[in-house]
């Protein structure tokens, strides 16, 4: 992977340019679909963009110096790390470097860590409760998530994402991708796993005290998370033998949007579970699918 | 006016987020206010969202008269909303105290405590009127219409119940229950 490749990846596709466009599109699809399911009309197409501009243009309430620094740095770090993770996805060109999967996992885990810190640094009781729930849920979700990736790595015999796309057996890949899909609602704070940002109980959890540009950055990092997490599922779902980018890119985009529709339908149709119930469900039931993938991968069927 | 200013104005007009503060009302206006969020009125198509935290809000929606216990809370919540912000007083209570005026626990109009930009009259007002009031507030937020010029009064000292207005306080211990025939 040369410097120019990395530049195109970071700034154009699937980096900055695509990330903004897709993030706002996915946020709009999510809100619009949810509204339609509730027999409402829902927000217009440009709504996420205007929400972002409005939040950026607000004057945040004054804070003590360190708190103000932490409250802008944490969401900025979260958004930047998620963007970096997105740029690692091999969509148009099948290029990568050994170990980019490890970097990808490390970068997508930055957002939850920042969210937990952000909840506690805001010194709000709701932020604290949201942060502790976020920590619990993300640990529970990462068990099936990492086991599924481990199964793919075992089957492919490589830590490069491009190898993960082309090599693993379909008997490993299908249960592994399904297990990844099951952890997405937890990572994206969607029903029934939305205990960390349960608005009727703890407002928005960790981000309750965030205002103006600070909140705008959180919303942005959440939207980038949508693009990245649906992206990794889409990248793994497109078969590796399809090499021309003219087919791969639309397939990636369409599968991403299908995942968004599935997640929205799930969250609109379900009620919220308690944090402990979610943790039990993920550790007992959610890990089952990824363990199947791992057993198949280790046995080499 | 630069392009960026125009964009910011449009964004403020199209994305007002509300925080709802009941400062001691009877819940009638609250029901009408929540009706705005339902499928029948669906204010999300105008970009209006109800938020649970005043930090996220642009518009502070006040229902009910200001009571002694909520006056300080109302000021705290007002200070927590980041600038630029507008206040919409819904119903007759926050404009005059309505039927609660003169009560020893009610301070009266919301204007005594926080600056109010838009009044929506009614007891309770219809959801249509509430949406119209919020639209008026949003125009102020976007800088299209000027803010009302009056400055809010200082918070008055807790008013003593006025004996001439309410009559003498009955002395419950002194009066003997009437003997049954």
Q: Supply A27's token pair.
A: 């946020």
The pLDDT value recorded for residue B167 is: 47
- What residues contact A285, with CB distance under 8 A and at least 6 apart? none
Of residues A93 and B48, more confidence is placed in B48
A36 touches chain B (CB under 8 A): no
Instruction: Give the Cα separation of A130 and B179 in Å (integer).
Output: 62
Residues of B within an 8 Å Cβ radius of A: 7-8, 10-12, 14-15, 39, 42, 44-45, 47, 51-53, 55-56, 58, 79-80, 82-84
Q: Does the pLDDT of residue B175 top 70, yes or no? A: no
Residue in A47, A51, A208 closest to B55 by CB: A208
Return the sign of the alpha-carbon dihedral for residues A57, A52, A19, A156. positive
Q: What is the pLDDT of residue A206?
A: 83
Whether the CB-CB separation of A292 and A216 falls below 8 Å is answered with: no
Query: What value does the mean pLDDT of chain B take?
Result: 81
Structure tokens at B123: 């007891």
- With a CB cutoff of 8 Å and minimum separation 6, the contacts of B142 are B9, B10, B12, B13
Contacts of A25 (CB under 8 A, 6+ apart): none
- B136 burial (CB, 10 Å; 0-12 / 13-18 / 19+) is middle
Give the pLDDT confidence score for residue B149 in this predicted structure: 62
pLDDT at A28 over 90: yes
What would the pLDDT profile of B104-162 be if each residue is shown by its tens digit?
Answer: 888 878 888 888 889 998 888 999 999 999 999 998 888 877 777 655 454 444 444 45
The two beta strands, B106-108 and B66-67, are: antiparallel
- Asked if B53 lies within 8 A of A39 by C-beta distance, the reply is no
- What share of chain A in percent tops pLDDT 90? 26
pLDDT of residue A88: 86
pLDDT of residue B160: 47
The more confidently predicted of residues B3 and B119 is B119
Q: Is the sign of the CA dihedral A153, A156, A158, A159 positive or negative? A: negative
* B5 vs A contacts (CB less than 8 Å): none
**DSSP assignment string, A202-227:** HTTGGGTT--HHHHHHHHHHHHHHHH
Shortest distance, CA A238 to any CA of chain B (angstroms): 36
The two tokens of residue B181 are 């025939």
Chain A residue numbers with beta carbons less than 8 Å from the beta carbon of B47 are 43-44, 47, 50-51
Query: Hey, how many other C-beta atoms are within 10 angstroms of the C-beta on B23?
Result: 24
Strand pairing class (B66-67; B17-22): unpaired
Over residues A108-150, the pLDDT tens digits come to 999 999 999 988 888 888 888 889 888 888 888 888 899 988 8
How far apart are the CA of B166 and the nearest CA of chain A, in angstroms? Answer: 41
Residue A60 · residue A100 · CB < 8 Å: no
- Which among B12, B120, B16 has a CA at the least distance from the CA of B64? B120
| Tokens representing residue A76 in the block | 């900025």
Please give the class, per CATH, of domain B3-155: alpha beta
A111-115, B11-15, B97-101: which range is least confident on average?
B97-101
- Please compute the mean of the pLDDT values over residues B81-97 and round it to a whole number: 89
Domain of residue A206 covers: 3-299
> What confidence category does residue B180 fall into, taking pLDDT thresholds of 50, 70 and 90?
low
CB within 8 Å of chain B, chain A residues 204-233: 204, 208-212, 215
Residue among A38, A43, A54 whose CB faces B11 most closely: A54
Number of compact structural domains in chain A: 1
Chain A residues lying within 8 Å of B52, measured CB to CB: 199-200, 203-204, 208
How high is the pLDDT of residue B1? 60
For all residues of chain A together, what is the average pLDDT?
Answer: 86
Tell if the CB–CB gap between B8 and A53 is shorter than 8 Å. yes
- Interchain proximity B52–A46, CB inside 8 Å: no
Model pLDDT, residue B19: 92
CA pair distance A51, A54, nearest whole angstrom: 5
ipTM, interface predicted TM-score of the complex: 0.80
For range A257-265, the mean pLDDT: 93
| Residue A217, preceding peptide bond in cis (omega within 30° of 0) | no
Q: Show the CA angle centred on residue A13, arms to residues A8 and A18, nearest 5°.
A: 135
Residue in A213, A182, A204 with CA at minimum distance from that of residue A278: A182
Instruction: Take residue B105 and report the two structure tokens written for it.
Output: 């626990």
- Give this prediction's pTM: 0.85
CB A211 to CB B7 under 8 A? no
Chain B nearest C-alpha distance from A239 (Å): 39
């Amino acid at each position: 992977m040369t410097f120019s490749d990395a530049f195109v990846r970071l700034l154009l596709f699937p980096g900055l340019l695509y990330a903004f466009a897709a993030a706002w599109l996915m946020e709009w699809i999510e809100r619009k679909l949810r509204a339609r399911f509730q027999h409402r009309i829902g927000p217009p197409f440009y709504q996420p963009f205007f929400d972002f501009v409005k939040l950026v243009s607000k004057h945040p309430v004054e804070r003590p110096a360190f708190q103000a620094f932490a409250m802008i740095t944490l969401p900025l770090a979260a958004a930047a790390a998620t963007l970096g993770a997105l740029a690692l996805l091999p969509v148009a060109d099948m290029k990568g470097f050994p170990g980019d999967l490890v970097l990808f996992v490390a970068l997508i885990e930055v957002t939850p860590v920042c969210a937990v810190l952000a909840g506690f640094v805001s010194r709000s009781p709701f932020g604290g409760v949201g942060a502790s729930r976020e920590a619990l849920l993300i640990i529970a979700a990462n068990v099936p998530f990492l086991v599924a990736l481990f199964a793919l790595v075992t089957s492919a015999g490589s830590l490069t994402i491009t190898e993960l796309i082309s090599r693993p057996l379909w008997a490993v890949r299908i249960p592994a991708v399904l297990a990844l899909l099951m952890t997405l609602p937890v990572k994206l704070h969607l029903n029934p796993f939305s205990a960390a940002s349960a608005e009727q109980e703890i407002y928005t959890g960790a981000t309750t005290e965030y205002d103006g540009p600070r909140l705008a950055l959180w919303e942005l990092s959440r939207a980038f998370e949508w693009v990245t997490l649906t992206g990794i599922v889409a990248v793994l779902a497109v078969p590796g033998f399809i090499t021309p980018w003219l087919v791969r890119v639309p397939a990636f985009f369409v599968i991403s949007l299908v995942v968004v529709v599935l997640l929205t339908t799930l969250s609109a149709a379900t009620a919220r579970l308690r944090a402990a119930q979610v943790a039990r469900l993920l550790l007992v039931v959610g890990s089952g699918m990824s363990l199947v993938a791992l057993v198949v991968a280790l046995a080499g069927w | 006016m630069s392009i960026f200013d125009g964009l910011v104005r449009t964004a403020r007009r199209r994305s007002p987020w509300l925080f709802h503060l009941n400062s001691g009302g009877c819940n009638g206006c609250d029901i009408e206010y929540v009706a705005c969020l339902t499928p029948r009125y669906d204010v999300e198509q105008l970009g209006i969202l109800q938020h649970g935290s005043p930090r996220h809000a642009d518009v502070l929606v006040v229902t009910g008269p200001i009571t002694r216990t909520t006056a300080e809370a109302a000021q705290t919540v007002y200070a927590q909303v980041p600038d630029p912000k507008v206040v919409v007083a819904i119903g007759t209570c926050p404009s005059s105290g309505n039927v609660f005026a003169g009560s020893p626990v009610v301070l009266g109009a919301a204007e005594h405590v926080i600056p109010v930009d838009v009044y929506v009259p009614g007891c309770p007002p219809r959801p249509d009127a509430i949406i119209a009031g919020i639209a008026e507030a949003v125009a102020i937020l976007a800088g299209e219409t000027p803010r009302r010029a009056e400055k809010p009064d200082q918070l008055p000292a807790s008013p003593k119940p006025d004996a001439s207005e309410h009559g003498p306080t009955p002395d419950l211990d002194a009066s003997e229950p009437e003997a049954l025939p």
